[in-house]
Structure 1
Amino acid sequence: MAIPTDAARPQREVLTWQGFGDATRELARSISDSGWMPDLVIAVARGGLLPAGALAYALDVKAMGTMNVEFYTGIGQTLPEPQLLPPLMDVSSVVGRKVLVVDDVADSGRTLKMVMELLCEHGLSLDGSHAVPVEARSAVLYTKRHSVISPDYSWRETGLWISFPWSCRPPVTAEDGAAPKD
């Protein structure tokens, strides 16, 4: 298999692990400086898991949750609409809390928009029938110019595809030569 030359590769925004640490610290500073502090951080999985954890630590927020959403199936490939996936977050103790929703990027913005609309219009469901209204804001590392939503907090804007340190390599498989687990 031929490795593409630099000229054949599309230009990308590359975020290193060190850059990720610096970016989340700067993003946390902008959230803190705004005077609004969350009580709960919700990660939009999978891309928002690491940024949400880093922001929660930087903002000293211990309460965290996850909303599992599938939209991108490959580079530039998406499902027709973002889809919530199980398991659903237990929200039994969020009454009256401020919620920060975190994702890695607002690319099309459709995933973040769906999550924010769910939270702001319907609240968080306690038991599937009763919803608690919440005050929610959003934070991302990157925003694309064509995003349908403007996050409340964003570290950087870019028009490029982004290589994140946690997703820049293909998944590990048994075909890679790894011994299968028994």
Structure 2
Amino acid sequence: MPASTDKDLWVSWEVYHRSIEQLALKVHESGWKFDQVLCLARGGLRPGDIFSRIFDVPLAILSTSSYREESGTVQGALDIGKYISMTKGALQGRVLVVDDLVDSGVTLEKVLVHLRENFPAVSEVKSAVIWFKACSSVAPDYYLDHLPNNPWIHQPFEEYDSIRPHQLNAWLKKGAA
């Protein structure tokens, strides 16, 4: 794995999972209790799943997307899913919105507005992210790392962005070597 710099933060699977656990501990130690986790897909799926399991609360998923160009390195127009996916009931009560990072802040800001306008049964919302970039227009309630230099974060799952099904056989052999 390359060395991290002011421009690039390289994250291994081990560091990524440990960071989610440390963020969960921060939320726990704050004493704030929440009824549901709402993860922002795709980046918030893994943190949301882990939070849902650790805190033993239902997981809801809201699809959002703005990084689709240039293999996910160029921000485009923000799309927010019309519906929230969950196994039963509706989004309500105290909700913790979980994502991997807050970059420009546009996604988090618009999701918070979306929740206020469309989910009147939600009584309180707080947010938690692993990485909070200084360039963000909004600060999350909880974060693990503040990044004053706004580096590009190379997350371990991004390796799948360049793999296609027909390449899996060679990919699996490479990992077995």
TM range (shorter): 0.7 to 0.9
The higher radius of gyration belongs to: 1
Which residue number in structure 1 is paired with residue 123 of structure 2?
134
Return closer, same or farther for 1:169/1:133 CA change in 2, 3 Å cut-off.
closer
Give the count of matched residue pairs: 164
Pairing partner for 2:155 from 159, 164, 182: 164
Return closer, same or farther for 1:21/1:133 CA change in 2, 3 Å cut-off.
closer
Specify the SS of the correspondent of 1:57. Answer: helix
TM-score, length basis structure 1: 0.78
Which residue number in structure 2 is paired with residue 79 of structure 1?
76
For structure 1, the residue ranges without an aligned partner over 5 or more in a row are 1-5, 125-130
For structure 2, the residue ranges without an aligned partner over 5 or more in a row are 171-177
**Residue 44 of structure 2 is aligned to residue 53 of structure 1:** no
Contact 2:38/2:62, CA 8 A, preserved across alignment: yes
Q: Which amino acid aligns with 2:66?
A: F
Worse-superposed segment, 141-150 or 48-57: 48-57
Return closer, same or farther for 1:88/1:155 CA change in 2, 3 Å cut-off.
same
Runs of 4+ in 1 over 6 A off after TM superposition: none
Contact 2:131/2:145, CA 8 A, preserved across alignment: yes
Pairing partner for 1:19 from 11, 15, 25: 15
Greater helix proportion: 2
TM-score, length basis structure 2: 0.80
Shift of 1:23: 1.0
Identity %: 27
Which residue number in structure 2 is paired with residue 113 of structure 1?
109
